[in-house]
Copies of this chain bind each other. A is one copy, B any other.
Amino acid sequence: MAKCESDVSPRSTPRRSYHHGRLREALVKATVELIEARGLDSVSLREVAKLAGVSSAAPFRHFPSRLALLTAVAEEAQDRLIQQIEQSLAAVEGQNALQRFRAIGRGFLLWAITNPTHFQVISNRHIITYETSSLRGRNDQIRRQMSELMVEAAAQNLLRPGDVSAHEIGARALVYGLARMYVDGQFPSWGVSQPNPLDVCNAVFDQFIASISV
Protein backbone atom coordinates (compact mmCIF):
# COMPACT_ATOMS: atom_id res chain seq x y z
CA MET A 1 0.00 0.00 0.00
CA ALA A 2 1.74 3.16 -1.21
CA LYS A 3 1.71 6.01 1.27
CA CYS A 4 1.42 9.42 -0.30
CA GLU A 5 3.58 12.31 0.84
CA SER A 6 2.08 15.16 2.80
CA ASP A 7 2.89 18.33 4.68
CA VAL A 8 2.24 16.76 8.05
CA SER A 9 5.51 16.31 9.88
CA PRO A 10 6.34 15.23 13.42
CA ARG A 11 7.38 17.63 16.16
CA SER A 12 10.48 19.46 15.02
CA THR A 13 11.33 20.45 18.59
CA PRO A 14 11.89 17.18 20.45
CA ARG A 15 10.45 16.88 23.93
CA ARG A 16 12.93 18.09 26.51
CA SER A 17 11.38 15.82 29.14
CA TYR A 18 10.49 12.18 29.11
CA HIS A 19 6.92 12.99 30.10
CA HIS A 20 4.85 14.66 27.43
CA GLY A 21 2.54 16.54 29.77
CA ARG A 22 -0.50 17.03 27.58
CA LEU A 23 -0.31 13.96 25.38
CA ARG A 24 -4.05 13.30 25.37
CA GLU A 25 -4.88 16.68 23.87
CA ALA A 26 -1.90 16.46 21.52
CA LEU A 27 -3.13 13.11 20.17
CA VAL A 28 -6.63 14.44 19.50
CA LYS A 29 -5.13 17.46 17.74
CA ALA A 30 -2.76 15.30 15.69
CA THR A 31 -5.66 13.04 14.65
CA VAL A 32 -7.68 15.98 13.31
CA GLU A 33 -4.62 17.31 11.46
CA LEU A 34 -3.97 13.91 9.92
CA ILE A 35 -7.57 13.54 8.71
CA GLU A 36 -7.44 17.03 7.19
CA ALA A 37 -4.17 16.26 5.42
CA ARG A 38 -4.77 12.75 4.15
CA GLY A 39 -8.34 11.66 4.88
CA LEU A 40 -10.06 9.51 7.45
CA ASP A 41 -8.99 6.10 6.13
CA SER A 42 -5.29 6.83 6.36
CA VAL A 43 -5.43 7.63 10.07
CA SER A 44 -3.37 5.12 11.99
CA LEU A 45 -2.52 5.25 15.66
CA ARG A 46 1.10 4.74 14.78
CA GLU A 47 1.24 7.85 12.62
CA VAL A 48 -0.77 9.89 15.10
CA ALA A 49 1.77 8.86 17.73
CA LYS A 50 4.68 9.78 15.47
CA LEU A 51 3.08 13.18 14.78
CA ALA A 52 2.78 13.78 18.50
CA GLY A 53 6.41 12.71 18.95
CA VAL A 54 5.84 9.58 21.02
CA SER A 55 6.18 5.85 20.50
CA SER A 56 3.38 3.85 18.89
CA ALA A 57 2.43 2.29 22.20
CA ALA A 58 2.10 5.58 24.08
CA PRO A 59 -1.48 6.43 22.94
CA PHE A 60 -2.72 3.33 24.75
CA ARG A 61 -1.95 5.01 28.07
CA HIS A 62 -4.67 7.57 27.24
CA PHE A 63 -7.07 5.70 24.95
CA PRO A 64 -7.95 2.02 25.23
CA SER A 65 -8.28 1.71 21.45
CA ARG A 66 -8.29 3.50 18.12
CA LEU A 67 -12.08 3.70 18.47
CA ALA A 68 -11.69 5.59 21.74
CA LEU A 69 -9.32 8.12 20.17
CA LEU A 70 -11.74 8.85 17.34
CA THR A 71 -14.60 8.97 19.85
CA ALA A 72 -12.68 11.73 21.64
CA VAL A 73 -12.58 13.65 18.35
CA ALA A 74 -16.33 13.07 18.00
CA GLU A 75 -16.89 14.45 21.50
CA GLU A 76 -14.95 17.56 20.56
CA ALA A 77 -17.14 17.78 17.45
CA GLN A 78 -20.29 17.55 19.54
CA ASP A 79 -19.02 20.25 21.93
CA ARG A 80 -18.59 22.60 18.98
CA LEU A 81 -22.00 21.70 17.53
CA ILE A 82 -23.81 22.35 20.80
CA GLN A 83 -21.94 25.62 21.24
CA GLN A 84 -22.92 26.68 17.70
CA ILE A 85 -26.57 25.75 18.21
CA GLU A 86 -26.72 27.67 21.48
CA GLN A 87 -25.21 30.70 19.75
CA SER A 88 -27.66 30.45 16.85
CA LEU A 89 -30.57 30.07 19.25
CA ALA A 90 -29.44 33.07 21.29
CA ALA A 91 -29.58 35.21 18.15
CA VAL A 92 -33.32 34.49 17.68
CA GLU A 93 -34.37 34.75 21.32
CA GLY A 94 -37.98 35.79 21.71
CA GLN A 95 -38.91 34.80 18.15
CA ASN A 96 -41.51 32.13 17.42
CA ALA A 97 -41.00 28.36 17.67
CA LEU A 98 -40.52 27.84 13.94
CA GLN A 99 -37.83 30.53 13.79
CA ARG A 100 -36.06 28.87 16.72
CA PHE A 101 -36.35 25.49 14.98
CA ARG A 102 -34.86 27.07 11.87
CA ALA A 103 -32.01 28.49 13.93
CA ILE A 104 -31.03 25.00 15.06
CA GLY A 105 -30.91 23.82 11.45
CA ARG A 106 -28.82 26.78 10.38
CA GLY A 107 -26.51 26.28 13.33
CA PHE A 108 -26.02 22.66 12.30
CA LEU A 109 -25.23 23.63 8.71
CA LEU A 110 -22.78 26.35 9.78
CA TRP A 111 -21.04 23.91 12.12
CA ALA A 112 -20.83 21.09 9.56
CA ILE A 113 -19.39 23.30 6.84
CA THR A 114 -16.88 25.07 9.05
CA ASN A 115 -15.86 21.81 10.76
CA PRO A 116 -16.02 19.23 7.95
CA THR A 117 -13.49 16.92 9.57
CA HIS A 118 -15.32 16.89 12.89
CA PHE A 119 -18.64 16.35 11.11
CA GLN A 120 -17.20 13.43 9.15
CA VAL A 121 -15.95 11.74 12.30
CA ILE A 122 -19.11 12.15 14.38
CA SER A 123 -21.42 11.10 11.54
CA ASN A 124 -19.48 7.89 10.93
CA ARG A 125 -20.87 5.52 13.54
CA HIS A 126 -18.57 2.73 12.44
CA ILE A 127 -15.38 4.37 13.64
CA ILE A 128 -16.60 5.60 17.02
CA THR A 129 -18.44 4.11 19.99
CA TYR A 130 -21.62 6.15 19.85
CA GLU A 131 -23.85 4.33 22.27
CA THR A 132 -21.55 3.93 25.24
CA SER A 133 -20.16 7.47 25.19
CA SER A 134 -21.83 10.72 26.11
CA LEU A 135 -22.53 11.31 22.40
CA ARG A 136 -25.87 9.53 22.35
CA GLY A 137 -27.28 11.33 25.37
CA ARG A 138 -26.33 14.83 24.28
CA ASN A 139 -27.55 14.19 20.74
CA ASP A 140 -30.88 13.00 22.10
CA GLN A 141 -31.10 16.28 23.95
CA ILE A 142 -30.85 18.27 20.70
CA ARG A 143 -33.43 15.99 19.12
CA ARG A 144 -35.87 16.51 22.00
CA GLN A 145 -35.41 20.25 21.73
CA MET A 146 -36.28 20.11 18.02
CA SER A 147 -39.34 17.96 18.73
CA GLU A 148 -40.63 20.36 21.35
CA LEU A 149 -40.19 23.35 19.04
CA MET A 150 -42.05 21.54 16.24
CA VAL A 151 -44.94 20.65 18.56
CA GLU A 152 -45.01 24.24 19.79
CA ALA A 153 -44.98 25.55 16.22
CA ALA A 154 -47.89 23.27 15.35
CA ALA A 155 -49.83 24.39 18.44
CA GLN A 156 -49.35 28.02 17.40
CA ASN A 157 -50.62 27.23 13.90
CA LEU A 158 -47.35 28.18 12.28
CA LEU A 159 -47.26 25.04 10.12
CA ARG A 160 -49.18 23.98 7.05
CA PRO A 161 -51.46 20.99 7.60
CA GLY A 162 -49.60 17.68 7.66
CA ASP A 163 -47.93 15.21 9.98
CA VAL A 164 -45.77 17.14 12.45
CA SER A 165 -43.25 14.37 12.94
CA ALA A 166 -42.88 14.01 9.17
CA HIS A 167 -42.00 17.70 9.01
CA GLU A 168 -39.46 17.23 11.77
CA ILE A 169 -37.82 14.13 10.30
CA GLY A 170 -37.86 15.82 6.89
CA ALA A 171 -36.03 18.86 8.22
CA ARG A 172 -33.45 16.69 9.96
CA ALA A 173 -32.88 14.51 6.90
CA LEU A 174 -32.65 17.56 4.63
CA VAL A 175 -30.06 19.29 6.77
CA TYR A 176 -28.08 16.11 7.35
CA GLY A 177 -28.21 15.26 3.66
CA LEU A 178 -26.98 18.72 2.66
CA ALA A 179 -24.06 18.51 5.06
CA ARG A 180 -23.12 15.05 3.81
CA MET A 181 -23.35 16.09 0.16
CA TYR A 182 -20.96 18.92 0.96
CA VAL A 183 -18.32 16.91 2.82
CA ASP A 184 -18.60 14.08 0.29
CA GLY A 185 -17.73 16.56 -2.43
CA GLN A 186 -21.01 16.13 -4.29
CA PHE A 187 -21.73 19.84 -4.68
CA PRO A 188 -19.58 20.46 -7.78
CA SER A 189 -21.22 17.63 -9.71
CA TRP A 190 -24.63 19.04 -8.78
CA GLY A 191 -23.90 22.23 -10.62
CA VAL A 192 -23.69 24.15 -7.37
CA SER A 193 -21.21 26.71 -8.57
CA GLN A 194 -22.03 29.43 -6.05
CA PRO A 195 -18.96 30.76 -4.29
CA ASN A 196 -20.16 29.89 -0.81
CA PRO A 197 -21.59 26.39 -0.16
CA LEU A 198 -23.07 27.59 3.13
CA ASP A 199 -25.21 30.11 1.24
CA VAL A 200 -26.54 27.29 -0.94
CA CYS A 201 -27.35 25.11 2.08
CA ASN A 202 -29.05 27.98 3.88
CA ALA A 203 -31.09 28.90 0.82
CA VAL A 204 -32.29 25.31 0.33
CA PHE A 205 -33.12 24.93 4.01
CA ASP A 206 -34.88 28.30 4.19
CA GLN A 207 -37.02 27.37 1.22
CA PHE A 208 -37.94 24.14 2.98
CA ILE A 209 -38.92 26.02 6.14
CA ALA A 210 -40.93 28.46 4.02
CA SER A 211 -42.72 25.62 2.24
CA ILE A 212 -43.85 23.94 5.46
CA SER A 213 -44.99 27.19 7.10
CA VAL A 214 -48.32 28.88 6.50
Contacts and interface: CB of A to CB of B under 8 A. Distances in A.
Contact of A162 (B139, B178, B207): B207
A178 B166 CA distance: 11
B189 A39 contact: no
Given A189-B140, A207-B163, A173 B174 contact: yes
A204 B166 contact: yes
A192 interface: yes
Interface in A178-214: 178, 180-181, 184-185, 189-192, 200, 203-205, 207-208, 210-212
A169 interface: yes
A3 interface: no
- One complex includes copies of this chain to the number of 2
A203 B167 CA distance: 10
A41 B126 contact: yes
B211 A162 contact: yes
A62 interface: no
Given A41-B127, A207-B162, A176 B181 contact: yes
Interface of A: 39-41, 123, 125-127, 136, 139-140, 143, 147, 160, 162-163, 165-167, 169-170, 172-178, 180-181, 184-185, 189-192, 200, 203-205, 207-208, 210-212
9 contacts: A40-B126, A41-B127, A162-B210, A162-B211, A169-B204, A173-B177, A173-B178, A176-B181, A211-B211
